[in-house]
Structure 1
């Protein structure tokens, strides 16, 4: 199979790479894994490292001239290369390390194709940069975002760079949020794929510029291709001046969330 990677288009390269990483993550699940300290409470495991190796082996064969930025191995190739892949081999390491299956494997070509693989559901969410799909059991279905679930995932992981102006916990306590939505708290960007797939109405996280993040690039690409509304927490387009991320299944949901974010202390009916 590996010799045929070079004949794949970018979307299929992303899928093959993400699924190769997901195979490693699934195989190593449940083992006692050594933690590799990254400082500030963050860590990787042997599964992170081995999954990234599997992903890189696909990209290096399929696209040997492309640069890669991996969460564990860092930059390979020129940082300013015309084509650069962003790789997060195991998003949700803390979940994984304690036996929680809420994790994702993220692979994205900057400005192009991307894939998010769920190692345990067997789903691979992907985009060619134009449309977004999910592949499961060999069948592809187009992603159709919808706010029907009324479920909104909010990332409460540190740090909180935009406090005190924005605190995600304040959004959860907003009376209009409680009336309209049901919060879910996650620590994996698998939630972005769920918004694109209609499994979540929206996703909110604090942060700086997340557009070129190995953690978020694939999910953002999926959501944009699926037709979701994607902005920063200030409503501005994400990018170098961006702050955090608000992804909503439709414009109405995005507008409602932005009104709550901009008025965190507003009381219902006032």
Structure 2
């Protein structure tokens, strides 16, 4: 029996924090929310801010000595803290703001634990850094990646930092893509969680050092623990200094995508 937040292991803290944030996101859905303009068409809503605050409260209660890096509030805690949690309180803000329920709440302690909560499906995708599982209705089921759907999520959000060498939108125009795959666009961490769960064959995006990003760290951790093939756009393991991300349910799918990407580059 858990007597306090501090009795939880790191994966348990990640789950509790992600669920707390998901509760806020779900409770504020459909309301007319104030927005904070971030420039370039990006923005946060009052739900982003409130969810992050609740997540941070849980982490602080459970691990008072740890630091937290949140998308909305920046860094909190001691600058010399040995451990730092990454928090994306509402991945898919644009979807959420227009009444689309394809969003996620991400909480990650790099190298140790991660949780991705779907506020509307009442699902939490979890890893303790070794295993990965889906928690639904109090039942844990191991995540099993599969490319059977042949559905590939592609992040089409601008800017395109790899252009002109690589743009995800160009991948869809490759004649070989339609031969093997069908495109989908979610543009949230749900896409990576769904790759880990076998609901998507793969996910492709551009970007720099995504393994340390509040947006991507949780999904990358899930995919790795579930046994997916996770690399940058050049085929090297995703990590510091590696551009982009290709996460695939199996090696065959990853190889086909890398071949298409190299053709477009």
TM-score by length of 1: 0.96
Matched, 1:237 2:237: yes
State whether residues 2 and 58 of structure 1, in contact with CA within 8 Å, keep that contact through their aligned partners in structure 2: no
How far apart in 2 are the matches of 1:105 and 1:45? Answer: 14
Residue 58 of structure 1 corresponds to 58
Aligned pairs for 1:61-80 within 5 A: 61-79=61-79
**1:116 shift after superposition:** 0.1
Residue 112 of structure 1 corresponds to 112
- Name the CA shift for 1:171/1:37 in 2 (closer, same or farther; >3 Å): same
- The total of aligned residue pairs comes to 265
Aligned pairs for 1:79-158 within 5 A: 79=79, 81-158=81-158
How far apart in 2 are the matches of 1:93 and 1:181? Answer: 27
State whether residues 65 and 81 of structure 2, in contact with CA within 8 Å, keep that contact through their aligned partners in structure 1: no
**1:30 shift after superposition:** 0.2
1:18-67: per-residue Cα shift (whole Å, max 9, x none)? 00000000000000001111122111001000100110111000000001
**1:73 shift after superposition:** 0.7
**1:81 shift after superposition:** 3.0
State whether residues 2 and 8 of structure 2, in contact with CA within 8 Å, keep that contact through their aligned partners in structure 1: no
Bigger shift: residues 223-232 or 80-89: 80-89
Q: Runs in 1 of length 4+ with deviation above 4 angstroms?
A: none
Aligned pairs for 1:141-220 within 5 A: 141-220=141-220
RMSD: 1.4
- Name the CA shift for 1:79/1:184 in 2 (closer, same or farther; >3 Å): farther
Residue 225 of structure 2 corresponds to 225
Name stretches of at least 5 consecutive residues in structure 2 with no aligned partner: none
State whether residues 2 and 61 of structure 1, in contact with CA within 8 Å, keep that contact through their aligned partners in structure 2: no
**1:234 shift after superposition:** 1.1
TM-score by length of 2: 0.97
Bigger shift: residues 9-18 or 168-177: 168-177
How far apart in 1 are the matches of 2:20 and 2:96? Answer: 17
**1:79 shift after superposition:** 4.8
Bigger shift: residues 237-246 or 189-198: 237-246
